[in-house]
């Protein structure tokens, strides 16, 4: 069974003329570094799978991008691999904005990265778990405190909520522009809490 995908052929054929040789070259380097890689299309761009997510490439009007799924774990002493744009990098991929073959690292380096990525997947190495952000609980409005003290059930449920769920109610109340609206929201909050509900737009009247 071929590990080439005709959809990748079609993607490259439809790419801008400058991009076609870059995409073909990257494709061949991936297969050279890992003959067992499987081509596919994910999120509308050519991707290469091997025991899970592996690497991918994409073409735009003026540049090409290429990136590894576990790029943070690849050893890169010469600094060819950079952050993606959503983390402050120059492009969506890890090799920056590629507009010609000259913009690519040496073939030897790319093949080494491909082999390293293969070993990471062979060994079942996972990406580091992202640290959970600590949510700071907002100050509970005095009006809500008084109302909750009159309804033990609502108070018990509210007290058991995570800070993020408490904050949703607190922000909703404090964002009210008038005192009457604020009072109505406090009343509504106690009602919903007594029913065990987290604040949700679909409950709003």
Spatial separation of the C-alpha atoms in residues 117 and 34, rounded to whole Å: 9
Shared domain check, 107 and 16: yes
Give pTM, 2 decimals: 0.62
Does 127 reside within a domain?
Answer: no
Shared domain check, 185 and 96: no
Question: Does residue 111 contact residue 33 with C-beta atoms inside 8 Å?
Answer: yes
Spatial separation of the C-alpha atoms in residues 58 and 84, rounded to whole Å: 13
pLDDT at 131: 58
Does 66 reside within a domain?
Answer: yes
When divided into structural domains, the chain yields a total of 2
Name the residue range of residue 20's domain.
6-122
Last residue of a domain, one of 122, 150, 169: 122
Spatial separation of the C-alpha atoms in residues 22 and 101, rounded to whole Å: 6
Does 134 reside within a domain?
Answer: no
44-84 confidence digits (pLDDT tens):
999 999 999 999 999 999 999 999 999 999 999 999 998 87
Spatial separation of the C-alpha atoms in residues 164 and 134, rounded to whole Å: 10
User: Mean pLDDT across the chain, nearest whole number?
Assistant: 89
Strands (E), 5-62: 38-42, 45-49, 53-59
pLDDT at 5: 95
Spatial separation of the C-alpha atoms in residues 58 and 202, rounded to whole Å: 39
103-123 confidence digits (pLDDT tens):
999 999 999 999 999 999 999
For residue 159, which phi and psi values (nearest 5 degrees)? -65, -30
Shared domain check, 149 and 104: no
Shared domain check, 111 and 74: yes
Shared domain check, 168 and 110: no
Last residue of a domain, one of 69, 93, 122: 122
Shared domain check, 159 and 68: no
Q: Which of 155, 131, 72, 63 is nearest to 103 (CA)?
A: 63
Please identify which residue in the block is written with the tokens 């959503």.
Answer: 86
Spatial separation of the C-alpha atoms in residues 105 and 77, rounded to whole Å: 12
Position with higher pLDDT, 123 vs 86: 123
pLDDT at 47: 95
pLDDT at 204: 45
Spatial separation of the C-alpha atoms in residues 203 and 205, rounded to whole Å: 6
Shared domain check, 105 and 16: yes
| CB atoms near residue 194 (< 10 Å) | 17
For 107, half-sphere exposure in the C-beta direction (CA atoms, 13 angstrom radius) is 12
Does 114 reside within a domain?
Answer: yes
For residue 103, which phi and psi values (nearest 5 degrees)? -80, -10
């Amino acid at each position: 069974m071929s590990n080439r995908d005709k959809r990748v052929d079609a993607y490259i054929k439809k790419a801008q003329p400058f991009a076609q040789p870059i995409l073909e070259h990257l494709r061949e380097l991936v297969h050279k570094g890992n003959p067992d890689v499987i081509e596919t299309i994910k999120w509308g761009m050519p991707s290469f799978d091997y025991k899970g997510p592996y690497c991918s490439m994409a073409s735009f009007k003026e540049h090409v991008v290429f990136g590894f799924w576990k790029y943070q774990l690849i050893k890169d002493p010469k600094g060819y691999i950079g952050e993606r744009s959503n983390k402050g990098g120059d492009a969506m991929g890890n090799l920056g904005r590629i507009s010609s073959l000259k913009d690519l690292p040496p073939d030897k380096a790319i093949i080494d990265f491909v082999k390293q990525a293969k070993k990471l997947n062979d060994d079942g190495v996972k990406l580091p778990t992202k640290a959970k952000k600590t949510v700071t609980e907002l100050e509970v409005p005095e009006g809500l405190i008084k109302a909750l003290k009159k309804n033990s059930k609502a108070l018990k449920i509210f007290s058991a909520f995570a800070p993020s769920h408490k904050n949703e109610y607190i922000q909703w109340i404090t964002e009210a522009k008038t005192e009457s609206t604020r009072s109505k929201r406090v009343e509504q909050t106690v009602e919903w809490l007594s029913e065990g509900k987290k604040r949700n737009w679909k409950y709003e009247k």
